Chains A and B, each alone.
Chain A
Amino acid sequence: MIGHQLALLKREFWEHRSIWLTPAVIGVVICLLTVTGQVSVSAFGEAVDLAILGASNIDPVQRRIVLMALFGVVTTIFAIGAGIVVIFYSLDTLYAERKDKSILFWRSMPVTDAETVISKLLIALLVIPLAFVVGAMITEIVVMILMSIWIAMQGGNAGHLVWGSAPLVDIWLASLFMAIAIPIWLSPFIGWFLFVSAYTKRSPMLMAFLPLLVVPMLEKLILKSNLLYDAIITRTSQPPIADAEGWEVFENYENMQITEESVSLLASLDMIGFATSPSVWAGIVVCGLFTTAAIYVRRYRDESY
């Protein structure tokens, strides 16, 4: 069973090279931009780039926030990339195999439809986000090495300015948690995309997004309510992962007594609150229902033959 699942996941890697190619390209671009000095963040009212970081006399807490913000930007770029790849992947995967008729070959193998669809769900929900987190981690290390070289060339102490100030473990654990939590939070959409991919006869992108626009409009017109619209907006904009107290450090640092230790991305996340949130579990159930529907469509539909 696990052997089957590994073979199926490997198969997805062969077919969808964007899973590892996209984070690799993003990483290379960020590293190149670092070399040319274009990666910078805005903080404390001025642009803080490598030059300022290395040469300025900002205090350790500010430096920690600057580095965290810089890596926050890097991680966000990877997260957006991951989101785009997940959308394209989950809309294409069960559609392409029907379009090129290779579904007949896959179904001639001793693998159930459930095993196949679950392997595709795992790719979208887990493998792509993790591939992008690994990409972000490697990129951050390379960026730090590039910064160190630059600072050393200016005669600065890179060990102190960069490696001593960057809360790497904190950022990485936080990224890892978000890479797992946010896809789970958005999993109703992933399930919906897989279902559309298995079901639609043409243009999965249109068929997936059009109902998300049209159905709330119809609800408003006919039922005079906004339930679906609100659900979609909440789902896309407010993942229940932030810890109010931990987050305040970033919102209100000017008025607070903050120490180096209190600048923590990890502390700004509420893992237990996420894991016990009813709306997270409701989302998982919705994703499960759509995935089950996708399995049934793949199993019962035979017009492709």
Chain B
Amino acid sequence: MSSLVSARDVSKSFGDVHAVDHVSFEIEKGKIMGLIGPNGAGKTTLLKALLGLTDCDGELSVLGLDPFRQRKQLMQNICFIADVAVLPRWIRVYQLLDFVESIHPNFSRQRADDLLGKTKIMRQSKVRQLSKGMVTQLHLAIIMAVDAKLLVLDEPTLGLDILFRKEFYSNLLSDYFDGERTILITTHQVEEIENLLTDIMFIDDGRILLNTTMDSLHDTFAQIVTSGDNAAEAKGLAPIYEAEMFGKTVMMFEGADRDRLRALGDLSTPSVADLFVAKVKGARA
């Protein structure tokens, strides 16, 4: 079994609100899974359950462990960045490295030093003296120096400028991802990570709307831009979503015959962002 994460019928409620509503999925080793959902969709609650930060109903196993009850063991093989502001602001860089080194069995000080050597971060600086981008670089250096099986990134680049964001993801791919490790990532800036994902999962209202590989996305979903009679005919093929744009109709289809669609308008594979909008609106309609 190569499933790193296995969730069966996982739920978490806060009073009457079902933050996560009977969700089941698997994440296999070596995947880069994007978890996409609007605010309040239950993403964070789901991640918290995966990281053992909150209890939940149902069966949840991460690296074969029960995250909530075996968090300590789990954290030896999982790393996560929850938000850029999470590093303690009072600590000095060298103190942080000393601490992780003495606490984490899978941490390589040498590797962290190498990674920090490429930045302008000083060992004597306090975290509060670093810019937001540098704090993320520091956190990422620590995390990449841990030989972890699963890396969880929750909005890792929130509030960073475009240069840092690009660098962050290119470092992640070149220095960290080796096909052996697995990454779970959430972000609102879908277009920035679209190209590095192998798998994608949409979540809204605590439920999974879509869970598929990026490769099959191209086979399953199609989008055409059309007008007039062609539009009327295309409508008969049961689009999952349609919108008017510059006098033309944009329609999205799931599992439709691509050759037939090609005859009716300009055919393309929808972007993840467009597909997300279509799925969420479709589910809410």
User: Which A residues are closer than 8 A to B by beta carbons?
Assistant: 3-4, 6-8, 10-11, 14-15, 97, 100-102, 104-112, 300, 302, 305
Contact = CB atoms under 8 A, between A and B. Distances in A.
Contacts of A7: 98-99, 102-103
A54 B135 CA distance: 60
Contacts of B73: 110
A305 B103 contact: no
Interface of B: 44, 48, 51, 53-55, 71-76, 78-80, 82-83, 85-92, 95, 98-100, 102-105
Contact of B75 (A101, A108, A300): A108
A14 B88 CA distance: 11
A104, A111, A112 — which one has the most chain B CB atoms within 10 A of its CB?
A: A104
B72 A305 contact: no
Contact of B99 (A11, A97, A305): A11
A147 B99 CA distance: 44
A4 B102 CA distance: 7
Contact of B72 (A6, A8, A97, A111): A111
Given A100-B88, A302-B53, A108 B82 contact: yes
B141 to A, nearest CB: 14
Given A14-B92, A109-B100, 19 more contacts: A6-B102, A7-B99, A7-B102, A8-B103, A10-B98, A10-B99, A10-B102, A14-B95, A100-B85, A100-B89, A102-B87, A104-B82, A105-B86, A110-B104, A110-B105, A112-B71, A302-B53, A305-B44, A305-B53
B103 A111 contact: yes
A110 B88 contact: no
A3 B102 contact: yes
28 contacts: A3-B102, A4-B103, A7-B99, A11-B95, A14-B91, A15-B90, A100-B85, A100-B89, A101-B83, A101-B86, A102-B86, A105-B86, A105-B88, A106-B88, A107-B53, A108-B75, A108-B78, A109-B75, A110-B73, A110-B75, A110-B104, A110-B105, A111-B103, A300-B55, A302-B48, A302-B53, A302-B54, A305-B48
